[in-house]
């Protein structure tokens, strides 16, 4: 059988791959694991992947040119996720190595997380709970209802579509800004970003992280928000100028914030923001539910099976450059 290296640490493997996907992977390949408690750096990855045919990489393992040039037997570098920013795709293509990514399976999971923190922020649930846990009596604070409020969704992809349906079910008015999305739902209104910021009671950042959206939420954007509005980021930390967000919180320009991502290592919320009294922060768990994780893990196993049969699978990023895949079919499996 061919050999596959899965780079996840044991803890990451349990959370992001799971026993059913592992059993399926072991049925099609000899599996080599990362038994350490830390992500593999470049040197450790090269050593661990020596003589491996496929690497399944976690988000903290970098797939760079040095890796691809150092592993002459490597045929494919697979990501068990949508985000492939840890992979130098051009370098992989130059080496003839196939790169794959999994499709999104976390739309409901992330959308439900967003609804949860919107309610939490609106009703001061975490604040009251923290006070009780500290042995204090929390102050009575007037809450807000989602019904009748306006949600502004920045980036109308698959999560945004799922979220808009949930928000509409709560009786919310739904505004969206996305220059590339096609919007067909009657309950969803497309508006320019500035109008969305001025009218939304809940501003939800779901735009794709790119050079175009770097620091999209900056000082000007926070200043344009409706006074007291709430900000939620479930996309990537790259979209937010964290200094501007901190100032908006400190001055009371915005009423609160929920973060599942940030600019700390491994896409985590930054500690300075996470401990702010007006912030609810979670450690990048929006998509961490069994259905969401299993979707991507089992899809990755299916991709590996196709690769080991010498075929370019769905989810291939650079199939036209996968020269090492040629002749890698059943005869060598």
Does position 332 have pLDDT exceeding 70, yes or no? Answer: no
Mark whether 73 and 52 lie in a shared domain: yes
The model's confidence at residue 327, banded by pLDDT at 50, 70 and 90, is low
The answer to whether 63 touches 90, Cβ cutoff 8 Å, is no
Encode 59-71 in three state secondary structure: CCCCECHHHHHHC
Mark whether 146 and 176 lie in a shared domain: yes
The answer to whether 326 touches 50, Cβ cutoff 8 Å, is no
Report the CATH number that the domain containing residue 39 is assigned in CATH: 3.40.50.720
The model's confidence at residue 333, banded by pLDDT at 50, 70 and 90, is very low
Mark whether 55 and 155 lie in a shared domain: no
Q: Position of tokens 């939620």?
A: 232
Question: Does the residue 261 lie in any domain?
Answer: yes
| Cα(312)–Cα(325) distance, integer angstroms | 8
Q: What is the mean pLDDT of residues 227-235?
A: 97
Q: What is the mean pLDDT of residues 128-148?
A: 96
Q: What is the tens place of the pLDDT at every residue in 252-266?
A: 999 999 999 999 998
The answer to whether 9 touches 34, Cβ cutoff 8 Å, is yes
Mark whether 256 and 301 lie in a shared domain: no
Does position 82 have pLDDT exceeding 70, yes or no? Answer: yes
Mark whether 84 and 111 lie in a shared domain: no
Helices and strands, counts by H and E, the chain: 13, 12
Question: Does the residue 331 lie in any domain?
Answer: no
Q: CA nearest 258: which of 146, 109, 132, 126?
A: 126
Question: Does the residue 237 lie in any domain?
Answer: yes
Does position 267 have pLDDT exceeding 50, yes or no? Answer: yes
Number of domains in the chain: 2
Domain of residue 27 covers 3-105+290-325
The kind and range of the H/E element at 57 are strand 54-57
Q: What is the mean pLDDT of residues 166-189?
A: 94
Q: Kindly give, in sequence order, each residue whose CB lies less than 8 Å from that of residue 96, ignoring residues fewer than 6 positions away.
A: 321, 322, 323, 324
Mark whether 111 and 243 lie in a shared domain: yes
- Mean pLDDT (the chain, rounded): 95
pLDDT at 1: 87
Mark whether 297 and 268 lie in a shared domain: no
Mark whether 176 and 314 lie in a shared domain: no
Please state the pTM of the whole predicted model: 0.89
Q: What is the tens place of the pLDDT at every residue in 8-18?
A: 999 999 999 98
Q: CA nearest 85: which of 286, 285, 242, 266?
A: 266
């Amino acid at each position: 059988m061919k050999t596959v290296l899965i780079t996840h640490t044991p803890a990451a493997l349990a959370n992001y791959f799971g026993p059913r996907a592992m059993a399926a992977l072991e049925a099609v390949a000899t599996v080599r694991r990362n038994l350490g408690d830390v992500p593999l750096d470049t040197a450790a990855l090269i050593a661990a992947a020596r003589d491996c045919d496929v690497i399944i990489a976690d988000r903290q393992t970098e797939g760079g040119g040095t890796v691809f040039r150092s592993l002459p037997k490597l045929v494919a570098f697979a990501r068990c996720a949508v985000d492939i920013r840890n992979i130098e795709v051009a370098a992989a293509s130059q080496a003839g190595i196939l790169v794959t990514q999994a499709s999104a399976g976390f739309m409901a999971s992330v959308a439900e997380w967003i609804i949860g923190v919107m309610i939490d922020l609106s009703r001061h649930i975490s604040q009251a709970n923290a006070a009780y846990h500290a042995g204090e009596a929390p102050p009575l604070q007037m809450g807000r209802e989602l019904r009748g409020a306006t949600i502004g969704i920045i980036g109308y992809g698959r999560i945004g579509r799922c979220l808009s349906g949930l928000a509409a079910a709560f009786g919310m008015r739904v505004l969206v800004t996305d220059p590339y999305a096609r919007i067909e739902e009657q309950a969803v209104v497309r508006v320019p970003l500035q109008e969305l910021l001025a009218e939304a009671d809940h501003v939800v950042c779901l735009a794709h992280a790119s050079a175009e959206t770097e620091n999209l939420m900056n000082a000007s954007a926070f200043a344009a928000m409706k006074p007291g509005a709430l900000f939620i980021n479930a996309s990537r930390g790259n979209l937010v100028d964290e200094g501007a967000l901190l100032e908006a919180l400190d001055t009371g320009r915005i009423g609160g914030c929920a973060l599942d991502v940030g600019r700390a290592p491994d896409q985590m919320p930054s500690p300075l923001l996470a401990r702010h009294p007006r912030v609810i922060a979670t450690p990048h768990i929006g998509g961490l539910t069994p259905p969401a994780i299993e979707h991507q893990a089992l899809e990755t196993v299916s991709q590996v099976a196709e690769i080991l049969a010498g075929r370019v699978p769905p989810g291939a990023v650079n199939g036209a450059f996968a020269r090492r895949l040629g002749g890698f079919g059943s005869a060598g499996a």
